[in-house]
Chain A
Amino acid sequence: MAGGDGPWHNQRVSSSTRLAIASPVVALGAIAAYILLFRVAIVRNHPEAYVVAFAVAAGLAVLAVMRAGGRRWPAWVALGFSGLLLIGGAWFNFVAARVPDTPTALRMGERAPDFTLPDAGGRPVTLADYRGKKPVVIVFYRGYW
């Protein structure tokens, strides 16, 4: 790494800079892994893992700031970036993505409520029509998730 006068100073700057680079690499790597492995149930079902990764990235950035010698801006940029991701990620996972645990109409061993809804071609589909023919898996979803 460039910069610094003596070997000792040089070492301090480069260790801080290395940490400042590692911090966003960890944070962005976690985002990339979550998106790429989204269809893998164990990844999708542990969204708190990206919050942990952001916390690790923020920790690396804190170390970078503590070890920063002459050149401080990479460490502060890394801390700002990972800090924002940590706050945003934690808010998204623990607040925004929460769904209140309200009572449902589903009862084990009881018949599910019947319905008729149009399919993608506009043809009506009635749940009771499958009775005596096939098991049915109903998936309520929205958006990409």
Chain B
Amino acid sequence: MAELQGLGAQLSEAEKAGVEIVAISPDPNEQSQKVAEGLRLGYRFLADTDLAVARRYGLIHARGGPEGQDVPRPATVVLDKDGVVRWFSVSNNFQVRPDPGDVLRAVRAL
């Protein structure tokens, strides 16, 4: 969430209209959506409750959760209009996330 807030704060209104930011998490997403709406971030929060999509992307941290459950590996992926991967960042420490400035540079370079 903190990463998403940083990303939203740096996007102009025009950019928010021109790019879709999709946040995928196994967490219940109602609260996240409320936060995003309150901050007018315009994200779509998608519920990947069984981690099927994280698994398809190879982004599973096996038994990485506090109760030993599998959790998604934090990652940010930039796709161009054709759905082709143009930039991505996968974290090796769950506290560390890409700098929103780097993500925006990748989006603006499309």
**Hey, which bits of chain A sit against chain B, CB under 8 A?**
38-42, 44-45, 47, 93, 97-115, 117-121, 125, 127-128, 130-145
Contact = CB atoms under 8 A, between A and B. Distances in A.
Contact of A136 (B19, B45, B53, B98): B19
A97 B94 contact: yes
Nearest to B32: A120
A115 B51 CA distance: 12
Interface of B: 1-7, 9, 18-27, 29-30, 32-33, 44-48, 52-54, 56-62, 64-65, 71-88, 90-101, 103, 107, 110
A134 B81 contact: yes
B74 A137 contact: no
A107 B20 CA distance: 20
A51 B103 CA distance: 27
Contacts of B45: 119-120
A115 B56 CA distance: 9
A137 B93 CA distance: 21
Contacts, number: 214
A131 B29 contact: no
B26 A142 contact: yes
User: What 8 A-B pairs are tightest by C-beta distance, nearest first?
Assistant: A120-B33, A104-B58, A105-B58, A117-B46, A41-B99, A138-B77, A115-B53, A47-B95
Majority SS of interface residues in chain B? mixed
Nearest to B78: A137
Contacts of A111: 82-85
Contacts of B19: 134-137
Contacts of A99: 61, 64, 73-74, 91-94
Interface centre among A41, A110, A145 (most CB of B within 10 A): A41
Majority SS of interface residues in chain A? loop
A105 B57 contact: yes
A100 B77 CA distance: 19
A119 B30 CA distance: 9
B101 to A, nearest CB: 7
Given A39-B5, A117-B47, A135 B79 contact: yes
B20 A134 contact: yes
Nearest to B10: A41
A39 B3 CA distance: 7
A136 B79 contact: yes
Contacts of A41: 6, 97-101
Contacts of B77: 106, 112, 137-140
